[in-house]
């Protein structure tokens, strides 16, 4: 737990310097609307999903569930509560789903809720239940890697991310996750080797770009870091940002 707290503080400093506010788990990549069965939803619900109107989505699915019990609707309702940040409500509506031959999706959502509440042991329990049902589930393998990283088990996290990659979890997302582990281990050249090719392929994601900039600074490639900062219009004060990032490590305890 002490190690995990250090990691949180480490990324908080980096994210604040980059003008973002994120905890460690926010830096790792996972699929948000992964559990939503889009084939069984109305056009109104599609519009609400696109707008990320979780209040409207919750109300819509609550009304539907009042009229008739439907496992898919219950799962969507639980997912929308999760996405809205109401983890207790999401766990509440998952209780019935867990009692009725739960699917892998139910186990994964249960795990994500528990992880969000920092109940990592409980989260790992449900991840393992999901993977026992479906050993090659890429989302589950990636999520297990995130949880292990948050608890400080970087060796286990790397192994799980590698399995997720082999199971064809989205390449850009899992590469970012692996690179984040390298960054926490201060293996900055390895992080750059992973992130730079993805960036040069044209993939743009705020977290991945920020991680790449930080890793470049720590490897001493300040010129390229400044170039990316300017290209992505992150700040007009690229020299100040690079200088601040360069000094981060000396102000942090060993991880």
Domain-wise residue ranges, the chain = 1-29+171-255, 34-169
Q: State how far Cα 71 lies from the chain centre.
A: 26
Which residues have C-beta within 8 Å of that of residue 115, sequence separation ≥ 6? 25, 123, 143, 146, 147, 150
Q: CA 185, CA 162: separation in Å to the nearest integer?
A: 17
pLDDT values of the chain reduced to their tens digit, one per residue, 255 residues: 444 554 554 454 455 444 433 333 445 554 555 545 555 678 999 999 999 999 999 999 999 999 999 999 999 999 999 999 999 999 999 999 999 899 999 999 999 999 999 999 999 999 999 999 999 999 999 999 999 999 999 999 999 999 999 999 999 999 999 999 999 999 999 999 999 999 999 998 888 999 999 999 999 999 999 999 999 988 888 878 888 887 775 344 433
Query: Domain 34-169: which topology?
Result: 1.25.40
Tell me the pTM. Answer: 0.82
Q: At what angle do helices 171-184 and 154-166 cross, to 10 degrees?
A: 160
Q: CA 226, CA 235: separation in Å to the nearest integer?
A: 10
């Amino acid at each position: 737990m002490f190690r995990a707290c250090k990691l949180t503080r480490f990324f908080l400093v980096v994210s604040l310097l980059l003008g973002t506010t994120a905890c460690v788990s926010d830096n790792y990549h996972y699929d948000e609307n992964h559990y939503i069965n889009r084939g069984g939803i109305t056009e109104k619900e599609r519009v609400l999903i696109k707008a990320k109107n979780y209040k409207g989505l919750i109300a819509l699915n609550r009304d539907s569930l009042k009229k008739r019990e439907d496992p898919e609707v219950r799962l969507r309702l639980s997912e929308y509560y999760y996405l809205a940040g109401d983890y207790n409500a999401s766990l509440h509506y998952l209780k019935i789903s867990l009692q009725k031959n739960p699917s892998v999706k139910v186990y994964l959502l249960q795990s994500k809720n528990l992880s969000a509440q920092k109940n990592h042991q409980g989260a790992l329990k449900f991840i393992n239940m999901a993977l026992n049902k479906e050993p090659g589930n890429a989302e589950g393998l990636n999520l297990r890697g995130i949880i292990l990283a948050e608890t400080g088990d970087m060796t286990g996290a790397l192994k799980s991310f590698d399995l997720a990659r082999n199971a064809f979890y989205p390449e850009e997302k899992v590469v970012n996750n692996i690179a984040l582990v390298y960054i926490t281990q201060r293996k900055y050249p390895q992080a750059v080797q992973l992130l730079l090719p993805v960036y040069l392929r044209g993939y743009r994601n705020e977290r991945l770009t920020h991680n790449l900039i930080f890793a470049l600074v720590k490897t001493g490639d300040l010129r390229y870091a400044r170039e990316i900062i300017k290209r992505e219009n992150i700040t007009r004060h690229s020299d100040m940002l690079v200088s601040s990032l360069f000094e981060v490590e000396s102000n942090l305890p060993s991880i």
